[in-house]
Amino acid sequence: MLKIIKNYFRARFKKILLEEIWLEDLVRTGMRIGDNCSIQPGVIFDYSHCWLIRIGDNVTIAPEAYLLAHDASTKMLNGWMKISSINIEDNVFIGARALIMPGVTIGKNTIVAAGSIVTKSIPENSVVAGNPARIISTLEEYKVKINKQFNDSTANVYDNNYTIKGNVSDNDKNEMYEQLKNKIGFVK
């Protein structure tokens, strides 16, 4: 119990000292987040216009993704900053370091690949990648492709013991690395 209290005060002190903005601050300012969302460390939400961001249910946003609801480059042209909403619908996965620009809606059941720059709205059931992000397949086509890889007799499949939460051993880490050189595997 003492450790929990100590960690709580350490986190609060760090927040004040480093002027960190927490998810609860964004929600208090007006951003909306649905149920069962997984927002990983380092995700950046446009604090100055966070109330323009809506996130649906069952959304995963990977580390260091960026959701930007304003474009200040227009200010030097006419003295006004361009702003617009961002709407992330239900069951969306946004990969690491993806950038979602103002005015974008990402439809239900969509995957945004890591590093993608989304400048236009994406229809539901899509997989997008690139700069600017473009549709590379439907969600169903991607599912078939991944399941084919998973069911390939040469695919390496690992259980929870091969994760940090499963306390993966150093030996298993090395084994996993060797087995996955230039090869795709799957972990639970």
Q: Are 117 and 102 in contact (CB under 8 A)?
A: no
Contacts 24+ apart (CB under 8 A), 40-49: 40/65, 40/96, 43/67, 46/70, 47/21, 49/83
Give 137's strand partners: 127
Contact 62, 83 (CB under 8 A): no
**What would the two tokens of residue 15 be?**
């927040």
Q: Given CA atoms 162, 168, 171, 173 in this order, what sign does their dihedral have?
A: positive
**Of 70, 82, 97, 108, which is the active-site residue?**
70
The C-alpha atoms of residue 88 and residue 109 are separated, in whole angstroms, by: 10
Helix, strand, coil abundance in the chain, percent, nearest 5: 35, 25, 40
Residue 70 is among the residues annotated as catalytic for this protein: yes
Strand partners, 86: 53
Q: Which residues are catalytic?
A: 70
